[in-house]
Amino acid sequence: MQKKQTSTSSKSPYWGWLPASFALAGIVLFVFATFGPPASSSGFVSTLKGWIEWIAPGYTASKAHYRMIPGPASWLFAFVVGMAIGGFVGGRTFPVPVRDVPRIWEARFGKSRLRRYAATFVGGFLILFASRLAGGCTLGLFISGSTQLAISALYFGVLIFVFAMLTARVVYGPVRKEDRE
């Protein structure tokens, strides 16, 4: 993270939220036009289905959740792989190096990678378990659904923000002023 004394956004290598939202809305509409509602948690199911079919083909056929999502030869799988490629290209062409342990996390829990990785594993477990229960994630339910005016999406959106904010308060505790730059 670059040191900034002032909060002038022009110095930041990150795109501003408004131009970025025009760019992402353009992509979301492209997806609606060429495929349908964009989704990403389904990509986890699609990938997993492909792996399990190698090992135990009978298992995926016996499970409703795998029957309702196509395997890796699908738009859903191509999309999440594309996201990884897009993130890779973005990262390679970005001046700020990535950190395996975020600075704000390190300030609270120390440098231990194991502790951070354990926390993100648990977090990852929760968000995917929850997405599959609710029928979608931030993209597949909140963004896709709200774009289509779905009540499920607005209901989901309010609660995820509220509970993420409460959880962050508990996880990070009172925020120290040096973390607020």
Partner 1 sequence: MTKILLGLFSGIAFGFVIQRVGATNAEKLAKAHLMIESAIPKFMLATVALSAVGLLGLTAVGVGRTLVIPTSIMATGLGAIIFGIGWGLAGYCPGTTWAAVGEGRMDAVFAMLGGFAGTAVFAHFHEALIPLLYDPTFVGGITLADWVGSRPIAVVLLVALFSACIVVIGKLWGRNKEASGEA
In single-letter form, the type of residue at position 77 comes to: F
With binding defined as CB under 8 A, does residue 61 bind partner 1?
Answer: no
Q: Which of 7, 10, 54, 58 binds partner 1 (CB under 8 A)?
A: 7
- Three-point CA angle 131, 146, 154, nearest 5°: 70
- Give the contacts of 114 (CB within 8 A, at least 6 positions apart): none
Provide the minimum distance between the beta carbon of 112 and partner 1 in the complex, in angstroms, as a whole number: 12
Q: Which of 3, 58, 98, 111 binds partner 1 (CB under 8 A)?
A: 98
Burial 6-25 (b: 16+ CB within 10 A, else e): eeeeeeeeeeeeeeeeeeee
Provide the minimum distance between the beta carbon of 174 and partner 1 in the complex, in angstroms, as a whole number: 10
163 is written with which tokens?
Answer: 């509970």
Q: Which of 64, 109, 110, 112 binds partner 1 (CB under 8 A)?
A: 64
Tell me the per-residue interface mask from 120 to 149 with partner 1, x by CB under 8 A, - otherwise: xxxxxxxxxxxxxxxxxxxxxxxxxxxxxx
Q: Which of 50, 53, 109, 150 binds partner 1 (CB under 8 A)?
A: 150
Question: Per CB under 8 A, which of residues 13..42 are in contact with partner 1?
Answer: 14-18, 20-38, 40-41
Provide the minimum distance between the beta carbon of 59 and partner 1 in the complex, in angstroms, as a whole number: 9
Burial 67-86 (b: 16+ CB within 10 A, else e): eebbbbeebbbebbeeeeee
Number of residues that bind partner 1 (CB under 8 A): 128
- In the chain, the N- to C-terminal Cα span, in Å, equals 10
